[in-house]
Chains A and B, each alone.
Chain A
Amino acid sequence: MKIGTIIVAIALFSATAYSQNTACLVCHSAAAHKAHPTAQVVDTTILSGSAHAQAVCTDCHTINAGSNHKGNRVVFCARCHQKEAEGFNRSPHVKGRQANIEKLPTCITCHGGHDVKKVADPLSPTHHDNSVKICIKCHEDAKVTAQVEKLPKPAVIKAYEKSVHGRELMDRGNEQAPGCVDCHGSHSFLPADEPESPVYKTHIAETCGQCHRAIAATYDESVHGKALAEGVLESPTCTSCHGEHDIRPPTDSTSRVFKGHVAKTCSDCHASEKIVARFGLKPDRIATFQESFHGAAGQLGDLRVANCASCHGVHDIFAQSDPRSKINKANIEVTCGKCHKDLPADFAKASVHTSASDPASGGEFFVRKFYIWFISALILLFLIYRILEYKRRVKRVGMSGQ
């Protein structure tokens, strides 16, 4: 019965929309301003150009009974936009209010008031082309971010503008490129440490996969994707290697996945004692690589030489035992053969990440041991000889002086 009453009421309201608005405009029109100086002037032309052209004032504004409703400017978007409002109520923008943080955005801050437009409307502030500007207005303002400890510093957000996504969207007008809400979700904007957030670690691949579908699928199959799915939160996801706001194309020399930086990026975990020990990874992968010719040449600025990804793959990294792995014994000749033609016959059997400091490497280890002693002994002998010779020389010069 109640719902029926409401529907009837709404129908009545709609039918009488014109007369309703006319009633409000008795005081709130520009013409009536002189007679009612305290009333807020409402430009009806703006309203009629908005998404809410068909709405009446009381759809959004609740009015107290009586003619004096001074100060009552609260609007209730939730009356119609329930789903969005639910999301918004979970957002830090609402939760912050409980912590008495000032100037938190409401619906109007982003969507506009009387001039509210549909998101699809290119003139709307929340349209894909414009929405980033709304967010950065506050999030790149140091005065605002200083108020809330948890907020990232403006530089972190600003990095987006220089990222491949930011440049595509803002500089080149590529509408396919994501803005803030495409990754963070609209309305709720859950922070990254909340498991429901689209930027929570386990959801990132899915979020990026909205656009990068094939890559996300490959990643999900990879050793990193599987581990993350099993709940190993240390396992890397897209942002662990590519960065977050400052994602840059691999061809960009400042990118974390640029050829010259790959070893460093992988070393974040594979040279981390904590992670290596905890998950039983092989400990010296980065060190042995840097010792090898590939590693040395890479450190000396060569970009043609192999890096981690050249052999292990990029998104398609599998355990060596997996037949899909590029470093599986069955595939190793193809992988190395990309650069090295005419590999020796039993190359696949050879171990690759060998180290002269590891006794298991055999000959290499003994050669290093031998030379450490040999070089030390010889140089010591040279120096002793020189010192003795020098002392004798001083003595001789002294004597001839007498």
Chain B
Amino acid sequence: MDERTRNLQTQRRELIEKVSDNVVESARPLIDPDTKPEELQKFSREVTDRIQFEANVAFSEAVTRFAVRKLEKQVSEAGERMFERFGRNFRFQHMLMFLSVIFLIITGIPLKFPSVGISRFIILDIFGGIQNSTLIHRVAAVGLIIVGVWHLGFIIFSRIGRRDFWLMIPRPQDIKDALQTILFFLGKRKSGPKFHRFSFIEKFDYWAVYWGMVIMIGSGLVLWFKEQFAKGIFDIAREAHSDEGLLATLAIIVWHFYNVHLNPDVFPMSYVWWHGKLSESDMKHHHPLEYAEIIEAEKQKVLAENEPRTESAEKQP
């Protein structure tokens, strides 16, 4: 044992004695004046021991509570039924899309703010000049165009794609949902609206991307093949590309990043983009109408299977 440790122990002992003396002093009015000093000493020891014990318990409780909660969640998720929200095809679309968009943004936004130091740093120091960054921008643009075409194919030729696109189409119910959500936030309603597969927020996200893709790819192609267009069209396309790019970046940061990263419910990140699954409790909470529909369909299926085999059984070969 070195001197430092010894010193610390002495200090600790002294501190404990001091605290217990104080405890005794402050408790003296409550104590029978005839109590012997030895008994008082014993009493003070008991009090300090108790305080130490409580502090230890409180600390370990805080630590274990966090770990237990995490564990509980894992256990419940492991045991819980998972619902597939996004299929593999759709998840790959999303991955190619965000990879493209990240590169498009970091090579594009500096051009809108060229006089800012960080823009120069990004273009000159990270990418080694505008010749490289514009090349990367075009490569990423091809990625985005591929996503666009791929997605159009997906919503036309895939059964799931067709179903999801149908459910994505805005309906009057979405306006009602939005109003109810606001009323709920303002405390005028006890609960928020119940959503089907896609809430009005998710529909907004989807159609915002749709709009953005059309503008960005359209104007981007004009800029890319500028020799084919009149200068007036080029100027308009340049302005639209630049402004829509800024809008998309802001929307991704303020809206999408909040929804899937910063929101306390999912922080640091929602992993749906990776495994594409939602737990049963999440389904019940966020998409109750869809959940009810799935359960109802399954019930019907089970009922149909367990029905007395009259007509259907006869038909089977």
Contact = CB atoms under 8 A, between A and B. Distances in A.
Contacts of A343: 227
A393 B254 CA distance: 18
Contacts, number: 102
B254 A379 contact: yes
Nearest to A343: B227
Contacts of A374: 247
Nearest to A345: B230
A299 B114 contact: yes
B119 interface: yes
A389 interface: yes
Interface string A294-311: 011101111011000000
Contact of B114 (A290, A342, A347, A378): A290
A44 to B, nearest CB: 69
A320 to B, nearest CB: 16
Nearest to A303: B129
A85 B186 CA distance: 95
Contacts of B258: 386
Interface string A65-76: 000000000000
Contacts of B114: 290, 295-297, 299-300
B243 interface: yes
A378 B236 contact: no
Contacts of B244: 371
B258 to A, nearest CB: 6
A392 B185 contact: yes
B130 A375 contact: no
A367 B240 contact: yes
A251 to B, nearest CB: 18
Interface in A382-397: 382-383, 386, 388-389, 391-393, 395
Nearest to A375: B247
A28 B197 CA distance: 117
B131 interface: yes
Nearest to A363: B236
Nearest to A392: B185
A340 interface: yes
**Most B-side CB within 10 Å, residue of A290, A300, A340, A393:** A300
A305 B254 CA distance: 35
Contacts of A351: 231
B243 A375 contact: yes
A375 B255 CA distance: 13
A379 B182 CA distance: 17
B312 interface: no
A143 B123 CA distance: 47
Contact of A302 (B115, B131, B226, B227): B131
Contacts of B250: 375, 378-379
Interface string A5-31: 000000000000000000000000000
A344 B112 CA distance: 25
A47 B304 CA distance: 132
Contact of A290 (B115, B231, B235): B115
Contact of B110 (A300, A344, A371, A388): A300
A290 B238 CA distance: 14
Contact of B120 (A300, A342, A363, A391): A300
**Chain B interface bracket (under 10, 10 to 19, 20 to 34, 35 or more):** 35 or more
B131 A304 contact: yes
Given A301-B123, A378-B247, A388 B130 contact: no
Contacts of B229: 344
B106 interface: no
A350 B247 contact: no
**Most A-side CB within 10 Å, residue of B129, B230, B231, B254:** B231
Interface string B259-281: 00000100000000000000000
B187 interface: yes
A350 B233 CA distance: 10
Contacts of A367: 236, 239-240, 243
Nearest to A347: B231
A59 interface: no
B246 interface: yes
A362 interface: yes
Interface in B129-149: 129-131
**Most A-side CB within 10 Å, residue of B236, B239, B264:** B239
A289 to B, nearest CB: 11
B124 interface: yes
Interface string B201-244: 00000000000000000000000001111111001101110011
22 contacts: A296-B112, A296-B114, A300-B111, A300-B119, A300-B120, A301-B120, A301-B130, A344-B228, A347-B231, A350-B232, A352-B231, A362-B232, A364-B236, A364-B238, A368-B243, A371-B247, A375-B243, A382-B251, A386-B258, A388-B182, A392-B185, A395-B187
The 4 closest A-B CB pairs, nearest first, are: A350-B231, A371-B243, A388-B185, A299-B114
Given A346-B230, A378-B247, A392-B185, 18 more contacts: A293-B111, A296-B114, A299-B115, A300-B114, A301-B123, A301-B129, A301-B130, A304-B131, A305-B130, A340-B227, A342-B227, A352-B231, A363-B239, A364-B239, A368-B239, A372-B243, A375-B247, A378-B250
Interface of B: 110-112, 114-115, 119-120, 123-124, 129-131, 182, 184-187, 226-232, 235-236, 238-240, 243-244, 246-247, 250-251, 254-255, 258, 264
